[in-house]
Structure 1
Amino acid sequence: MRSSRRDYLLGMIQTRTETLALTDGTQLRLTAAEPDTVLRGGLVVLHEARGVTERVRRLSGLLAEEGWLTVAPHLYHRDGTDEFHDHHPEEHVHDQVQRLSGDSILADTDASFLWLSDHGVPADRQGIIGFDVGGTAALVVAASRTVGAAVSVGGRGILDPLSSALPPLVEIAGELACPWLGLYGDDDEEIEPGEVEKLREVTDTAPTATDVVHYPGAGHRFDRDADAAAEAWQRARNWLDLHLR
């Protein structure tokens, strides 16, 4: 069962939200952006802690403008939440993040990859990119599923798990099953000094291509340093170009 609505306009790219019925009886909402150029491949976009915000829709639109069919699953859909606005207190956001589990993330991303397949994107040209909490989730997926490529932009839970139903990332990073790139700001107040280097040590043992890059002066959203943000964005796009051919 599927319904859709157009909900955002960015330049020439429109995004729309579809609803898919999952086998667990829940209704997964997906926000999609389709390119109006030659299709390069498909990307599952995993949202930040506040949900599918305007920022996430904008990033999805930018990727679609470059030829990627993008789909962003609403990871909080089981609680009826799409987005936390600025007036929502941080404790509400924290409580919602605590409800995430490995099973729920994999169920939602599996459905998203299937959606890409149904829209004509072959498996070897499907990738995943996540921001903040989505960066954590992207690594969880990359350690459990064989996809073309993965990128984590930030992502907490390296040594201490993001929620009680998720493992610390260092416990699963050696199991990465697809090329994975991690991009981190050195001034990320959510990640203790040294955690990123410990993650690098583990990902170096994974049986696939990995890279970890950190940026002095950048926070977890890369909105404090324009140069770092531009370089990180280009590096992420290059990684996807390299591995999704």
Structure 2
Amino acid sequence: MTSAVRIRPRVDAVDSELGRVPIAQLDLGGIPRGAALLLCSGGDFEADSAQHLNDLAAHGYEGVAADLDAINGTDEQLVDVVGTLLTHLRRRDWQGEQVGLIGYGLGGRLALLASARYGLGATVSVSPTAMTAGDEHLSPAIGALAPAVRTPWLGMLGEDDRAVPATACDELAAALRLDSPAYTQLVRYPGVGGDFYRASSESIEIAASYDYWQRTIEWLNLRVQPRLTPLAIAWHERRATS
């Protein structure tokens, strides 16, 4: 997943109701394929954001990565912060269907919550945390989201991830399958924990990490609407007038 050319993202911060949120931003010239908002937590933000943004840029996506470890609030407040970050991203003229949202850890949970609030091209949750009610079962608040999900959602987690035990995972998959109006998919990787997406020397984790990234890019490519080129816009305008 190492990019052939490394670009150093621009470091900045976005004001929100919970305070200033540190961000890393990588803008592309020309006509990018799409845009991505990354919600990061529980790691080395500078290194993680640079790696993810460069890997996305290799596929034509410019993006913004946000450090969630710098803020704290209720679910409602945190989802509002996601909205603020999406507004910041849209300053480069990206529309909702042209944006993909990817979250890790706490960001993975917020990506699912945001999929029930905002209409985007796609959302992806990797190793989401705080998904249970303090036992083996899915949090009722998470289960109740299913009928409201409006953005196609992909969830990926390790089979040995204690944040989402098997019972909670099965309950989440069932709730989304039965009640979600948007297409959703849940993937569990056997033999790995919640950090399966990070660099590792273990072959089973390397395989899971490779597969998760391939699925992420495929999910975005299938569902995030590309920005029209000037020639495509002119063609549509010509058809409309004729």
Which TM-score band (shorter chain)? 0.7 to 0.9
The amino acid of 1:218's aligned partner reads V
Q: Percent identity?
A: 24
Alignment pair present for 1:169 and 2:154: no
**Further displaced range: 62-71 or 179-188:** 62-71
Alignment pair present for 1:75 and 2:48: no
Shift of 1:71: 0.7
Paired residue for 2:85? 112
Shift of 1:226: 0.9
Equivalent pairs counted in the alignment come to 212
Given that residues 145 and 177 in structure 1 are in contact (C-alpha distance below 8 angstroms), is that contact kept between their aligned partners in structure 2?
Answer: yes
- Name which of 212, 219, 222 aligns with 1:239: 219
Distance 1:198 1:239 in 2: 23
**Further displaced range: 195-204 or 183-192:** 183-192
Paired residue for 2:174? 201
TM-score (norm 2): 0.78
Structure-2 change in CA distance of 1:51 and 1:243 (3 Å): same
Paired residue for 2:162? 189
Given that residues 159 and 165 in structure 2 are in contact (C-alpha distance below 8 angstroms), is that contact kept between their aligned partners in structure 1?
Answer: no
Distance 1:238 1:115 in 2: 25
Q: Deviations over 1:61-103 (max 9, x none)?
A: 211222111112232434xxxxxxxxxxxxxxxxxxxx44223
Distance 1:200 1:217 in 2: 20
Shift of 1:35: 3.4
Distance 1:181 1:66 in 2: 18
Alignment pair present for 1:13 and 2:7: yes
SS across alignment from 1:230:
helix
Structure-2 change in CA distance of 1:216 and 1:146 (3 Å): same
Given that residues 97 and 119 in structure 2 are in contact (C-alpha distance below 8 angstroms), is that contact kept between their aligned partners in structure 1?
Answer: no
Alignment pair present for 1:178 and 2:151: yes
Radius of gyration: which is bigger? Answer: 2
Shift of 1:167: 6.9
SS across alignment from 1:13:
coil
The amino acid of 1:113's aligned partner reads L
Considering Cα pairs closer than 8 Å and 6+ residues apart, tell me whether 1 or 2 has the greater RCO. 2
Structure-2 change in CA distance of 1:175 and 1:197 (3 Å): same
- Name which of 62, 66, 80 aligns with 2:55: 62
Paired residue for 1:49? 42
Structure-2 change in CA distance of 1:186 and 1:21 (3 Å): closer
Distance 2:18 2:212 in 1: 38
Shift of 1:243: 0.6
SS across alignment from 1:194:
helix
Paired residue for 1:212? 186
SS across alignment from 1:128:
strand
Distance 1:47 1:126 in 2: 17
- Name which of 119, 123, 126 aligns with 1:153: 126
Structure-2 change in CA distance of 1:103 and 1:51 (3 Å): farther
- Name which of 230, 235, 244 aligns with 2:210: 230
The amino acid of 1:66's aligned partner reads H
Distance 1:61 1:167 in 2: 37
Distance 2:69 2:76 in 1: 13
Distance 2:110 2:18 in 1: 22
Q: Deviations over 1:111-147 (max 9, x none)?
A: 2211221112222101200112211111111112111
Shift of 1:53: 4.5
Given that residues 38 and 103 in structure 2 are in contact (C-alpha distance below 8 angstroms), is that contact kept between their aligned partners in structure 1?
Answer: yes
Alignment of 1:78-117 (within 5 A): 78=71, 99-117=72-90
Which has a greater percent of helix?
2
CA RMSD of aligned residues (A): 2.4
Alignment pair present for 1:130 and 2:103: yes
The amino acid of 2:215's aligned partner reads R
